[in-house]
Amino acid sequence: MAISVDPPQVSRDLCRKAGYTFTVLSDPNAEVIRRYHLLHAGGGPDGHDIARPAEFLVDSSGMVRWVNFTEDVRVRARAAEMLAAAKGLR
Amino acid sequence: MPDASNNRENWAVWVGSLLALVAVMCNVVFFVNLPGLWAIAWLSMLLSVVALIFLGLGLKHAFGRPVVYRRKILSSVLSLVSLLLVGVAIFASFSARAMPTSAGAPQIGQRVPDFTLADTNDQPVSLAQLLAQAGKDSKVTPAKSVLLIFYRGYW
């Protein structure tokens, strides 16, 4: 599942265009993003607060098992990498 | 008749320009989903620095020893354009890395805080709900985990 500050309508557009079927949640006031210490203040295209990219693999007990904090927004976690991490949990 | 020594090509400018162009073009690669993009990010930075060295050398040739090197105007114009390209490449590298370090974010072995947010249909969804689903549903591959992706947004 994915989280951003985008309102639900924007995320709906994204899912439709990209064909995503996973859960996409909206955190317009960046409350959860802040609680996770992932706020990038003023990082949005028009200077609003957004989330910095981060990926967590959480097991059913809620514990982080794999994590990725990129230091360069151009370099993101790859799907293959995340799937491999998830498969490693089993 | 110019003698042979007045005809030397200012190759440093050409090399510098080529490197500057490649440094900027590195950024196009990020739109393709490839492994090893870290190397490209560093390559772009390295090429920018080397391009600056060559452009400086080229300008020194063109103006320091104008009798030896020809095409002084072309050298200057090419260097100026290339300097702009290097500027773009360096700006792209720095702005891509201008991010908080998120030192307080959950780490491996820690439990993540629960939350409830609206999904694309404006329905509230909680992490606990998704985790409970992941624990039960053995048909989903891979089972028993939820991938939490925080992203910058869609623009």
pLDDT digits (tens, 9 = 90+) for B101-151: 888 999 999 999 999 999 999 999 999 999 988 766 555 554 578 999 999
Residues of chain B with C-beta less than 8 angstroms from the C-beta of A36:
105-106, 112-113, 150
Domain ranges of chain A: 1-52, 53-90
* A36 with B37: Cβ contact below 8 A: no
Is the CB of residue B107 less than 8 Å from the CB of residue A64? yes
* B115 with A51: Cβ contact below 8 A: no
| Prediction pTM value | 0.83
ipTM of the complex: 0.94
Q: Which residue of A has its CA nearest to B148?
A: A56
Q: Which residue of B has its CA nearest to A18?
A: B154
A10-42 pLDDT, tens per residue?
A: 999 999 999 999 999 999 999 999 999 999 999
Q: Is B108 exposed, middle or buried (0-12, 13-18, 19+ CB in 10 A)?
A: exposed
Residue A54 backbone phi and psi in degrees, to 5: -160, 145
pLDDT at B65: 78
CA B142 to chain centroid, in Å, comes to 32
Is the CB of residue B29 less than 8 Å from the CB of residue B1? no
pLDDT at B135: 67
CA A68 to chain centroid, in Å, comes to 11
Highest mean pLDDT among A72-86, B84-98, B136-150: B84-98
The structure tokens listed for A6 are: 């985008």
Confidence grade of residue B43 (pLDDT, cut at 50, 70, 90): very high
Whether the CB of B15 is below 8 Å from some CB of chain A: the reply is: no
Counted across chains A and B, CB pairs separated by less than 8 A come out at 192
